[in-house]
Chains A and B, each alone.
Chain A
Amino acid sequence: DGGITQSPKYLFRKEGQNVTLSCEQNLNHDAMYWYRQDPGQGLRLIYYSQIVNDFQKGDIAEGYSVSREKKESFPLTVTSAQKNPTAFYLCASSILWNEQFFGPGTRLTVL
């Protein structure tokens, strides 16, 4: 069964800590994306990757980092430099810039 998974579903972080959100897909898609969703706002692009070992900053990359060592995996690290990290994080994949398939999301809360 092809799909895209994210873990954990809920994540709590203390201020000053880095946390890593997992995203895995078995759809054989080249492109993967990370979005942040806040109440009353559209999805905002954090980072995207069109191919293994390459990724590009989106509109709100500050305070985040990613890696793309395998086609299937695109983890996102939320660093302590991100001043307001509490949000719903969505990972997606696609055949380059076509309709996107989203994972179930990770809700990150900073305590």
Chain B
Amino acid sequence: GQNIDQPTEMTATEGAIVQINCTYQTSGFNGLFWYQQHAGEAPTFLSYNVLDGLEEKGRFSSFLSRSKGYSYLLLKELQMKDSASYLCAVRYTSGTYKYIFGTGTRLKVLA
């Protein structure tokens, strides 16, 4: 199958840096997305990686290693409002496209 693995929960302190990992099956890989979802709300798009390396967007960065089937989302200068679930989603292709979401990592930011 095309499983996406993420830690279930993480806790960090305001102002700190946190790294949320995501591993996936590499066969058919065609791109990786990160979304943020606050409790009871819709996911919102954070970042997209299709080539190896780091993509930086303000306090958020996302890294991809296609050969290892590995990505991480790095959040710097954590704020209380960053408390949310972070969803890793992989786009696969094998004739047609398919999107698989991980179960999400619930991040708690403590004062």
User: Chain A: residues with CB nearer than 8 A to chain B?
Assistant: 33, 35, 40-45, 90, 96-105
Contact = CB atoms under 8 A, between A and B. Distances in A.
A99 B33 contact: yes
B94 to A, nearest CB: 13
B101 A97 contact: no
A40 B9 CA distance: 11
Contacts of B101: 35, 42-44
A43 B87 contact: yes
Please report whether the interface of chain A is mostly helix, strand, loop or mixed according to DSSP.
loop
Interface string B87-107: 101010000010111111000
B82 to A, nearest CB: 19
Given A97-B91, A104-B42, 10 more contacts: A40-B103, A42-B101, A44-B101, A96-B97, A97-B99, A100-B33, A100-B43, A100-B99, A101-B45, A105-B40
Contacts of B48: 98-99
11 contacts: A41-B103, A43-B43, A43-B87, A44-B101, A45-B99, A97-B97, A99-B33, A99-B48, A100-B33, A105-B40, A105-B41
Contacts of B100: 42
A100 B45 contact: yes
A77 to B, nearest CB: 21
Contact of A42 (B40, B44, B91, B104): B104
A103 B99 contact: no
Nearest to A102: B42
Interface residues of B, number: 19
Interface in B21-64: 33, 40-45, 48
B4 interface: yes
Contact of A102 (B4, B40, B44, B99): B44
A42 B97 contact: no
Nearest to B88: A42
Given A43-B87, A97-B91, A105 B42 contact: yes
Contacts of A102: 42-44
